[in-house]
């Protein structure tokens, strides 16, 4: 089982809160995930705080709430995992140029409507949705849902891609849309080593 520390070792390479949320599961590019840092509600809160969806005071309130209402926290956590499955389906479809199912898009709409019902419009440089008044157990996933819908409605869909070496998804912000890896330090480096070894083998054989 992952620990709370496991959450803060996750690499935030998605370039978007919703994609980073999907990337809490690791594994090969296709097939089943082989690890998951979201082991329970405490990890969900820790992730939210680490990834920037929750402030530390908000996380503190949620830790107290979940402690007082463990059943409610379990329900919220189950919903959070369902949301992750839904977002996984949606963004993996988009990344491979397929259309997500109508049913998953309808659930995302319902989740967004619910998130906005608990949001307020705050003025900064522009107005934006915040969840400062929402001290409910569903709070950690609100900004995730909204980031997902924002990306789908205003992002460049062809920039949503899957890593060539693992199951991570990311938003490719490179100028010529050439990004292939979640990070050069991990999958990018493994690929370079693999190519180098293959080339050396070819040279040795020749
Ligand atoms: Zn990768």
- The CATH number of whichever domain residue 26 belongs to comes to 1.10.3300.10
Q: What is the pTM of this model?
A: 0.91
> Residue 53 carries which DSSP code?
S
In the reported structure, the alpha carbon of residue 66 is separated from the centroid of ligand 1 by a whole-number distance in angstroms of 33
Specify whether the CB–CB gap between 169 and 91 falls below 8 A. yes
In the reported structure, the alpha carbon of residue 19 is separated from the centroid of ligand 1 by a whole-number distance in angstroms of 13
Q: Token pair 């491979």 is at which residue?
A: 96
Tokens of 196: 């180098």
In the reported structure, the alpha carbon of residue 13 is separated from the centroid of ligand 1 by a whole-number distance in angstroms of 9
In the reported structure, the alpha carbon of residue 129 is separated from the centroid of ligand 1 by a whole-number distance in angstroms of 31
In the reported structure, the alpha carbon of residue 37 is separated from the centroid of ligand 1 by a whole-number distance in angstroms of 16
Could you list the residue range(s) of the whole structural domain that residue 16 is in?
A: 4-205
Using 70 as the pLDDT threshold, list the residues of the chain that sit under it. 1-3
pLDDT (0 to 100) of residue 1: 41
Q: How many domains does the chain have?
A: 1
What sign results for the dihedral spanned by CA atoms 152, 154, 156, 160? Answer: negative
Q: Token pair 């590019």 is at which residue?
A: 29
pLDDT in tens, 98-116: 999 999 999 999 999 999 9
């Amino acid at each position: 089982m992952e620990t709370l520390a496991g959450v803060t070792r996750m690499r935030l390479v998605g370039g978007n809160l919703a994609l980073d949320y999907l990337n809490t599961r690791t594994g090969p590019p296709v097939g089943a995930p082989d690890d998951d840092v979201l082991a329970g509600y405490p990890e969900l809160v820790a992730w939210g705080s680490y990834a920037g969806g929750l402030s530390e005071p908000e996380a503190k309130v949620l830790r107290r709430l979940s402690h007082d209402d463990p059943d409610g926290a379990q329900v919220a956590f189950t919903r959070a995992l369902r949301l992750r499955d839904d977002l996984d389906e949606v963004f993996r479809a988009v990344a491979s140029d397929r259309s997500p199912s109508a049913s998953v898009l309808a659930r995302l709409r319902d989740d967004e409507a619910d998130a906005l019902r608990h949001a307020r419009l705050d003025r900064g440089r522009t107005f934006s949705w915040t969840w400062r008044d929402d001290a409910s157990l569903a709070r950690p996933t609100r900004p995730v849902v909204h980031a997902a819908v924002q990306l789908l409605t205003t992002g460049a869909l062809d920039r949503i891609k899957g890593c060539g070496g693992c199951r991570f998804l990311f938003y490719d912000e490179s100028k010529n849309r050439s990004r292939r890896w979640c990070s050069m330090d991990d999958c990018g480096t493994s690929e370079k080593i693999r190519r180098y070894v293959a080339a050396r083998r070819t040279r040795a054989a020749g």
